[in-house]
Amino acid sequence: MHEVLAKGILSTSNGMNIYRGCTHGCIYCDSRSLCYQMKHDFEDIEVKSNATILLEEALKRKRNKCMIATGAMTDPYIPLENRLQHTRRCLEIINAYEFGVAIHTKSANILRDIDVLKSINEKSKCIVEMTLTTFDEELCKVLEPRVSTTKERFKALNVLRDCGIQTVVWLSPILPFINDTKENLLGILEYCKEAKVYGIICFNMGVTLREGNREYFYQMLDKYFPGLKKRYMDVYGNSYEIVSQNNNQLMNIFYKFCKENHIVSDVNTIFSYMRAYEDKQYKQIEFRFD
């Protein structure tokens, strides 16, 4: 790891990344792409040491409350967070200023901060986004080797459900010739049903590959799936969007399952919901005066 003093912490859409880089080791990670202009080794985590100061200053200046999002580029619960606790401190600031939060992770370690998440949710809105890609636990350990397994994430979703915190699952990516099967999809969907997730984000059954992450992905294919790199190159070439040959069948199953189980599958509806701030305390006061 190395520390930097950042100039700002919130994007124009109120997103933040406390860390840059990751040690989860997911073989498909888009954040490795060169277009993000990361000037250090991906596993050498860049830590914004003044993140909490910048966040508090930013929230003090905001005229209107809003949802603060984190986790789009780097998981806020990488192992380094266990020691540094920058994510927790940022959540405490969001809670103190009564903003909402939408936090995206693959780690069951988010439950460490369940007390803060519950407090945020009581005042405004807390949404936890959890990525699920692979129902088979052993395959999950290959594709996402240094992060909570799918079953561990599922258990975390159940805890969040029981605490009244809404959850959204990212069903992405689904890797052609590896986990693009009906059995894998239905296993994940059953987890979502039991956990009573609000919605599932799925653009299609596939993965995106571009310069930087494509090379790493192919290197991992050579290591764990000998011969599969050639198949990818033969079928997809250097395409950015790699869509499973089973896409139509699997997407039909996905939409049918979501409709039958009252899970939101329209991505625009889900994104709108995650961006919409709610002031629950104000609503309760307003109700009492009616």
Q: Are 283 and 219 in contact (CB under 8 A)?
A: no
Mean pLDDT throughout 86-104? Answer: 98
Tell me, which fold does domain 2-289 have in CATH? pyruvate-formate lyase- activating enzyme (3.80.30)
Mean pLDDT of 92-96: 98
Q: With pLDDT > 90 as the criterion, what percentage of the chain qualifies?
A: 95
> Around 107, how many Cα atoms within 13 Å sit in the side-chain half-sphere?
25
Q: What angle do CA 273, 277, 283 make, to 5 degrees?
A: 115
How far CA 46 is from CA of 5, 23, 39, 105, 125, in Å, comes to 10, 11, 10, 18, 29
154-180 confidence digits (pLDDT tens): 999 999 999 999 999 999 999 999 999
Q: Where are the domains of the chain?
A: 2-289
pLDDT at 290: 42
What's the helix, strand, coil split of the chain in %, to 5?
45, 15, 40
Predicted structure pTM score? 0.94
Please compute the mean of the pLDDT values over residues 213-219 and round it to a whole number.
97
Classify burial at 102, counting beta carbons within 10 Å of its beta carbon; exposed 0-12, middle 13-18, buried 19 or more.
buried
Full DSSP string of 235-260: HHTT-SEEE-TTHHHHHHHHHHHHHH
Q: What is the pLDDT of residues 253-289, one digit of tens each?
A: 999 999 999 999 999 999 999 999 988 765 544 444 4
H-state helical runs in the chain: 51-61, 80-84, 86-96, 114-123, 137-143, 150-162, 182-195, 213-224, 228-236, 247-260, 267-275, 280-289
Averaged pLDDT for residues 200-224:
97
What pLDDT is recorded for position 58? 97
Write down the pLDDT at residue 280.
Answer: 75
pLDDT digits (tens, 9 = 90+) for 32-83: 999 999 989 999 999 999 999 999 999 999 999 999 999 999 999 999 999 9
Query: What is the pLDDT of the chain when averaged over all its residues?
Result: 95
